[in-house]
Structure 1
């Protein structure tokens, strides 16, 4: 039996500003934006190449804006950082650790993202 994570909520205070940030600056795909009723707006966004999406909106989570922390694996931390910088996103410097190379950034609400380049596997 497969168990697949396909949707993670990201709590935001301004849905339109967050959508603009994630789509136009970070580069997520704008998959779906629907107001279901006056209490529910569902906006699904997907990182490039990911099988898992995030949902922002109204009525999609009880978490406080800025309280989410998510990690994404990327092929190159340096390339991912450069993409973000080129699109006006403030990032950390590249941080090499034994378990990967990392870059960090936050959305306008303070939700924190870690981008991890996995370490090379030793020759076998």
Structure 2
């Protein structure tokens, strides 16, 4: 049996601001933005190349905005990822090398609500 992680719920305070930030600053693909019932809205975005999406909206999940921490996006080239983010007007800071032998290098950042993310380059195997 396959157990696939396909959606991570991100707690946000402002749905439109979060949608715009993940789409425009992070380059995530907007999959859905729809009302699914009275007062219930779902926004789903997917990082390019990922099989896992994020979702937020109104009446979606529990958790305080900013309480999601430690989600990682994995890339082949941390410098290219940083340059792409800089080109989108977002500065994630300098890469931090955690494990020089295997390329364990990270960028850390937070969304407008303080949800903590990392971009990881890993060449081990």
Do both share a fold (TM > 0.5)? yes
Q: Does 1:22 align with 2:26?
A: no
What's the counterpart of residue 114 of structure 2? 110
List structure 1 segments (4+ residues) > 6 angstroms apart after TM superposition. Answer: none
| Structure 1: distance between partners of 2:112 and 2:31 | 21
Are 1:95 and 2:82 matched, yes or no? no
- Greater displacement, 90-99 / 111-120: 90-99
**TM-align CA RMSD:** 1.3
Give SS of 1:79's match: helix
Paired position in structure 1 for 2:8: 8
| Paired residue secondary structure (2:4) | coil
Deviation at 1:88, TM superposition (A): 1.9
Distance in structure 1 (CA, Å) of the matches to 2:3 and 2:90 = 33
Give the match for residue 74 of structure 2.
73
Kindly indicate whether the alpha-carbon contact (under 8 Å) linking 1:93 and 1:103 is maintained by their aligned counterparts in 2: yes
SS of equivalent to 1:2: coil
Name the counterpart of 1:57. Answer: 57
CA distance in 2, matches of 1:12, 1:90: 21
Question: 1:72: Cα distance to partner?
Answer: 1.1
Q: Contact between 1:29 and 1:46, CA under 8 Å: does it hold in 2?
A: yes
* Equivalence for 1:45: 45
